[in-house]
Structure 1
Amino acid sequence: MFPTPIAQASKPVQWLYRTALPLSLVIWLLPLIAIALTSLRGPADILSGNYWGMPTQWQVVSNYVSIFQGTPLARYIVNSFLITVPAVAGAVVLSCLSGFALGVYRFRLNLPVFFLFVGGNFVPFQILMVPVRTLSLRLGVYDSVLGLVLFHTAFQSGFCTFFMRNFILDLPRELIDAARMDGATEFQIFRKVVLPLVRPAVAAVSILIFTFVWNDYFWATVLIQGDHAMPVTAGLKALNGQWVAQWHLVAAGSLVAALPPVLIFFLKQKDFIAGLTMGATKG
């Protein structure tokens, strides 16, 4: 049923694994290495077609200084935080409440409602472009930070509810019944019994949703037009000049834009792994 561990596999399989794994890793890292090198190049290298060789003109500091001095990248990063943090908080709060309702209470429409949350994750988001844009115009939140916050909160709540409901469903029912016998209200059960037990799951889903929302490009270009609310993923195109493509600045800006989710993952990786493996063992 399960694959044989590499340590127990035959010698040819072990040799193939030890050869293929580093090779696959290098191939996967090649685009990232190219972007890192491009962020250190001068424009002469780009114009001459030197994309993969070592830079002939090193601009280690000047490229990164230029993207903050000559472009609105700092504003884009602030916008991304203004969009991502409230959207993550809203989606996680709503999903914890809905996950508690679907995981604790037994009612006739429990499964249909749960499948409604799950089914939304299978809808291709491209087909929602026109109705979501029309709805944002009618609500008066088009081309605003609030519009993206509301959309991401609603759109990510389905996945978060699916995630949280399964964790809450695995909690011992005896704990909830004991709290009710002690006179605790439903909100007290949710706040003092359920939430502390699913804290690793909350941390894991928060990191995932932060990455999803921060890296969004499609909806940022659909719902935002002006620089006043543009997140960094969609704003990177502004790092190009009007007549000349400044790919060395775009590469530097891309690396800066990727830092927040990477740092959050490495700072919270213990909570992330604990949330994903929560309930994997018994006892």
Structure 2
Amino acid sequence: MSLAPAAPLRPARVLRYAAAIFVCVLFTVPLLVTLNTAFKTPAELTQVLSLPSEPTLENFRIAVAEVGPAVLNSLMITIPSVVLSVLIGAMAAYPLSMMDPKKGRWIYFLLLSGMFVPFQIVQIPVFFVTRAIGVYNTIPGLWLVHVAYGVPICTFFMRNFFATVPRSIYEAAQVDGCGPAGYFFKILMPASFTGIAALAIVQSRSVWNDLLFAMTLTASDDVMPVTAKLNGFVGAIQVQHGPLMASAILTVLPMLLAFLLFQKAFVRGLLGGSSK
């Protein structure tokens, strides 16, 4: 049986493949260089693209000792901040999704205005406010800041997601004697799990990677998150490249694990619940 001849490659398809390969290389090479550098001795750091002749785990030992407690701090900051942001944002989005668009438009825009305020504008005022109320250099102080910045984007996302849920479900719940609170917690939130999972991953990445507030609102190692701790490997005269690369790898692992666990829910949530 003869095989059918392959279709000729068109220039447009070749360009698409070339662009896809270029983007893959663009994102992959820094990761490979980071992994390669993490196993090198200080004497081999100048040879960026060469493989380590004598791979060592000393950089990872230093990374665990220096960054390990900071990773726990970041987890203690990220998890409550994300849970509170998503919960408060969902509770704010629920009535907005049920209201007449014309009546709730201004409330919606007022909440969304928080998304357009750059961190740098409020950096100094937030510093003085946290000191005044006694939460400077504390993990709850970072919770307050991240929740304040996370609620607008969570409200925006969940309001659009709740709008895809048919209104007939709410009417059927009312017939069965379910009130607004019961409908929200027992029906709407479980039905929106994919959207909540996608939002939680996006918000977790934002909180986990924050450096500005981490440097502004913390002063001791007991509270300092991992991003601020990584900055400690960069000195005014010398940069500890090996421990820095090893620490960067350890820092990526929690977010990578979270994405792998909720990958399907993340993709479905970004599609706006179209697969429900």
TM-score (norm 2): 0.90
Residue 105 (structure 2) aligns with: 111
User: Does the Cα contact within 8 Å between 2:39 and 2:59 map onto a contact in 1?
Assistant: yes
Q: Per the alignment, in what secondary structure is the counterpart of residue 226 of structure 1?
A: coil
Structure-2 residue corresponding to 1:23: 22
User: What is the deviation of 1:177?
Assistant: 1.9
Gaps of 5+ in 1: 1-7
| Equivalent residue, structure 1, for 2:93 | 99
Q: Tell me the matched-pair count.
A: 270
CA 242–66 in structure 1, closer or farther in 2 if over 3 Å, else same: farther
SS in 2 for 1:143: coil
Aligned: 1:170 with 2:164: yes
For 1:4, the equivalent position in structure 2 comes to none
User: Which shows bigger deviation, 150-159 or 240-249?
Assistant: 240-249
**Superimposed CA distance per residue, residues 70-98 of structure 1 (whole angstroms, 9 cap, x where no aligned partner):** x2x11101100100000011001101111
Instruction: Indicate how the Cα distance of structure 1 residues 236 and 170 shifts in structure 2: closer, same or farther if over 3 A, else same.
Output: same
Q: Which 5+ residue runs of structure 2 have no aligned equivalent?
A: 1-6
> 1:208 aligned to 2:231?
no
- Structure 1 runs, 4 residues or longer, greater than 6 Å off: none
- Tell me which amino acid in the other structure corresponds to 2:59: N
Is 2:195–2:273's contact at 8 Å kept on the other side of the alignment?
A: no
**2:50 match: secondary structure:** coil
CA, structure 1 residues 13+243, in 2 after alignment: closer, same or farther (shift >3 Å)? closer
Q: Are 2:66 and 1:66 equivalent residues in the alignment?
A: no
Shift, 1:240, TM fit: 5.6
CA contact under 8 A between 2:173 and 2:183: conserved in structure 1? yes
Who is 2:228 aligned against? 234
- The answer to whether the 8 A contact 2:86-2:200 is kept is yes
TM-score by structure 1 length? Answer: 0.88
Equivalent residue letter for 1:16: L
1:229 shift after superposition:
0.4
Q: Is the Cα contact below 8 Å between 2:268 and 2:275 reproduced in 1? A: no
Distance 1:254 1:281, change over 3 A: closer
Which letter maps to 1:206? A
Q: 1:131 and 2:125 equivalent?
A: yes
Corresponding letter in the other structure for 1:253? S
**Cα RMSD, aligned residues only:** 2.2
Instruction: Please list the CA deviations of residues 162-197 of structure 1 after superposition, one character each: whole Å capped at 9, or x if unmatched.
Output: 000111122111211222233222111111221122
Taking a change above 3 Å as real, the CA distance of residues 240 and 58 of structure 1, as seen in their structure-2 partners, is: farther
Matches within 5 A, 1:130-149: 130-149=124-143
Offset of 1:243 from its aligned partner? 6.7
1:152 corresponds in structure 2 to 146
Contact 1:240 1:249 in 2 (8 A): no
- Give the drift of 1:156: 0.6
